[in-house]
Structure 1
Amino acid sequence: MTDLVLREDRDGLATLTLNRPDKLNSLNVEIFIELDAHVAAIEKDIDGVGLVVLRGAGKCFSAGHDLGDIAHGERPPRPNFQAHTIERLANLPQPVISAVHGHCYTGALELALAGDIIVAAQSAKFADTHAKWSLTPVWGMSQRLPRRIGLPKTREMMFTCRTVTGEEALAIGLANICVPDAEFDAALASLAQSILANSWFSNRANKKLLADTDGLPLGAGLAHEIVRSQGVGPDMQARIAAFANKTAKKQA
């Protein structure tokens, strides 16, 4: 691999950075090939990786699908390769955070929506501009965006192609968190630490449970939880013992 997507691992956190800053991290076939390879490695490493952060180098997360790539005729390794890569990212067993600063347009928004949590800087600018270019989504926009913000706001974003700021993204539920740019890295680190401190087993099991029951009627979802829940993790006893020891020390 070259360096279009960088991977850094630290204390169970795998950070994937889109690294095409001179092109505002616009998404071409080559960047997806590298991203897919990283995701394939991470999905097998549940003991070494407990959380994934996807972000962009330089001025922004990503300006979106490389229009030059489209104009010249893309040659992905197989049909629908980009969509499958985004789906693979969304289906990672570990939680995924999409960390968005600056531009996050169209294809980049489809990529960001693969995250379980979206953290936005105040500089973030989200938009779906498919209609501006006489295009329709094939990377998941029509399915993931309404599941995150509802149909009325999705229609508004898709029909107007207008830009949504980081603060508005928070207000409509597109982003989970919005912070000033100067606090962006610190907020990401704090969120990552709080997630990694919990049981990785539970985080994976909860993510799967939520995904498996998405869209089910309440009764069916409750039945699935009872029958298909993964139950107790291998670290439960150690966690309870550590809590009991801490409590005992405070009371001594």
Structure 2
Amino acid sequence: MTDQIIRTDAAGCAMLTLNRPEKLNALTVAMFKELRRHIDDIAGDTSIGVVVLRGAGRCFSAGHDLADIEQGEEPPTPNFQSETIERLANLPQPVITAVHGYCYTGGLELALAGDLIVASANARFADTHAKWALTPVWGLTQRLPRRVGLTKAKEMMFTCRTYSGEEAAAIGLANEHVADDCFDDRLGEIVAEILDHSWFSHRANKRLLLETDGLPIGAGIAHESFRTEGGGPDAYERLARFTRRET
């Protein structure tokens, strides 16, 4: 049987591809089981410096597979999908979600696990829970307001409106939108830029950001002061390269 999540590694980047293109990558329990396995493997893999999540075929993901819901899903644990998305969000490596085409509802909840979201111009973002008399269970009510602000999150959730890649970048949902024919090239540039900088710093900085999210600024600064990891093993080498270049 074809893998529904494909992992490909290249030069420090782990690419995870949702691979149900014939179903617009609609998300099932089986897909989440495969995704969890890959996430757990990547978490302890020191050869990986950045993770990219994307979709095969026409889109990122049209959302939670409604047929799977109707037939009665049987996840291994009650909150398995939500916990899997949380593990993705909490990976020590920077995570980039690359969105083209549809990114609806459950797909949006999954996309929001990315530290960065890069959108193709043809991307279409929407939360349609209210169309189906459903409510989020994979983290949307927490991650979406943190990304776009409370009032814009309410707008998206109440209207079920669709937003283009350009609109997503304008409201802060996506970090940037890219012309369709440049999408893969730009994604590669961003990955290379991240990998060129200290992986130690990326992991340490991400940990601090996650640990202090929501804290009052004084508590956050105190946490940073006492919990920072300081200089990494490559700090002196990087500084030396810079000073030699400057002299």
Q: TM-score range by the shorter chain?
A: over 0.9
Q: What do the CA deviations read for 1:10-33 (whole angstroms, capped 9, x no partner)?
A: 110000000100000000011100
Q: CA deviation at 1:245?
A: 2.7
**Residue identity opposite 2:180 in structure 1:** D
Q: CA deviation at 1:246?
A: 2.7
Q: CA deviation at 1:91?
A: 0.4
Q: CA deviation at 1:238?
A: 1.1
Q: Distance in 2 between matches of 1:48 and 1:4?
A: 24
| Alignment size in residue pairs | 247
Q: Distance in 2 between matches of 1:28 and 1:216?
A: 35
1:210-249 to 2 correspondences below 5 Å: 210-248=209-247
2:8 maps to what in 1?
A: 8
**Residue identity opposite 1:29 in structure 2:** V
Q: Distance in 1 between matches of 2:217 and 2:90?
A: 23
Q: What do the CA deviations read for 1:79-126 (whole angstroms, capped 9, x no partner)?
A: 110001000000000000000000000000000000000000010000
Q: CA deviation at 1:2?
A: 4.6
Query: 4+ residue runs of structure 1 moved beyond 2 angstroms?
Result: 244-248
2:169 maps to what in 1?
A: 170
Q: Distance in 1 between matches of 2:36 and 2:245?
A: 42
Q: What do the CA deviations read for 1:204-223 (whole angstroms, capped 9, x no partner)?
A: 00011111111111111111
List alignment gaps of at least 5 residues for structure 2.
none
Q: Distance in 1 between matches of 2:186 and 2:192?
A: 10
Verify: 1:98 aligned to 2:97, yes or no: yes
Verify: 1:44 aligned to 2:44, yes or no: yes
Q: TM-score, normalised by structure 2?
A: 0.98
1:78-227 to 2 correspondences below 5 Å: 78-227=77-226
Residue 74 of structure 2: SS of its match in structure 1?
A: coil
Verify: 1:22 aligned to 2:6, yes or no: no
**Residue identity opposite 2:108 in structure 1:** L
| Coordinate RMSD, CA, aligned | 0.9
List alignment gaps of at least 5 residues for structure 1.
none
Q: Distance in 2 between matches of 1:237 and 1:57?
A: 41
Residue 79 of structure 1: SS of its match in structure 2?
A: coil
Residue 117 of structure 2: SS of its match in structure 1?
A: strand
Q: TM-score, normalised by structure 1?
A: 0.96
Q: Distance in 1 between matches of 2:120 and 2:236?
A: 39
